[in-house]
């Protein structure tokens, strides 16, 4: 018997309860830095050491945090459904919680890639320093999608959204494109569950949406309990 398909879209609010700060605050800062200094090709060109140090700190933080109740609850759905998580987050908390199919739209902190060959991607758990090069002699850089860069996994995510039975959106404003456009690609009457303490979504755009204005840990459990019955 074929399992029904669930696609889950997660953003910064998914990991906030684990202690990972959201990508940027209202002032356009990320951990006190202007985002364009640490999350753009120009920023890397102008000050590569600053950028590498910044992501080294983010990578270290992963070893200090754990998946929260929201991450863990999503794993339960795999007992009954074919589940794929499409995340805007660069942490590995979904995988560590036990989810088996995770698509990272914006890259992964625990991977690096060649600055001269984007297809050369390596697992990386320690610090990344100037002088760390790939087999072709290019400086390695964080495997992160920076502002102004293409989103390589977007077409994969788009295809997943066109063939789905349920959609769950967690902890994302759905205001930042191209990721924000994904939820609108689901078939017209697909049930959509939107979980965010400050939901910014037009319910009128959907034929079958349930909005839960809650944090991930409580909202996810309610939706999971509902779908597992």
Domain coordinates of the chain in residue numbers? 1-20+67-106+150-229, 22-64+112-144
Indicate the CATH number for domain 1-20+67-106+150-229. Answer: 3.40.50.1220
The pLDDT tens digits for 16-53 are 899 887 655 545 556 677 888 999 999 999 999 999 99
Fold of 22-64+112-144: SIR2/SIRT2 'Small Domain' (3.30.1600)
Least confident of 155-159, 160-164, 176-180: 176-180
For the chain, the average pLDDT equals 90
User: Strand, coil or helix: what is 9?
Assistant: strand
Query: What is the average per-residue pLDDT within 88-107?
Result: 96
**Sequence-ordered list of residues with C-beta below 8 angstroms from that of 119, at least 6 positions apart, any chain:** 113
Q: Is 106 a catalytic residue?
A: yes
Inform me whether the pLDDT recorded for 8 exceeds 80.
Answer: yes
What is this structure's pTM?
A: 0.92
Q: What percent of the chain has pLDDT over 90?
A: 75
Query: What is the average per-residue pLDDT within 165-191?
Result: 84
Token representation of residue 103:
């698509």
Half-sphere exposure of 99 (CA within 13 A, CB side): 29
User: Strand, coil or helix: what is 184?
Assistant: helix
Q: Of 94, 104, 106, 143, which is the active-site residue?
A: 106
């Amino acid at each position: 018997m074929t399992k029904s398909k669930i696609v889950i879209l997660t953003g910064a609010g998914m990991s906030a309860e684990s202690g990972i700060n959201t990508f940027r605050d209202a002032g356009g800062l990320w951990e006190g830095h202007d985002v364009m200094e640490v999350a753009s090709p120009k920023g890397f060109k102008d000050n590569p050491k600053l950028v590498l140090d910044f992501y080294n700190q983010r990578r270290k933080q992963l070893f200090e945090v754990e998946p929260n109740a929201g991450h863990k609850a999503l794993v339960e759905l795999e007992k009954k459904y074919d589940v794929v998580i499409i995340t805007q987050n660069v942490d590995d908390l979904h995988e560590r919680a036990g989810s088996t199919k995770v698509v990272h739209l914006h890259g992964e902190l625990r991977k690096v890639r060649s600055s001269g060959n984007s297809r050369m991607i390596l697992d990386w758990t320690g610090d990344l320093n100037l002088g760390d090069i790939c087999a072709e002699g290019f400086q390695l850089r964080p495997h992160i999608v920076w502002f102004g860069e293409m989103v390589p996994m977007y077409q994969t995510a788009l295809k997943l959204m066109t063939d789905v039975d349920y959609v769950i959106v967690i902890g994302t404003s759905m205001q930042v494109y191209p990721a924000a456009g994904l939820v609108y690609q689901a078939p017209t009457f697909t049930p959509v569950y939107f979980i965010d303490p400050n939901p910014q979504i037009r319910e009128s755009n959907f034929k079958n949406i349930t909005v839960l204005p809650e944090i991930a840990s409580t909202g996810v459990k309610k939706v999971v309990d509902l779908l597992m019955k």
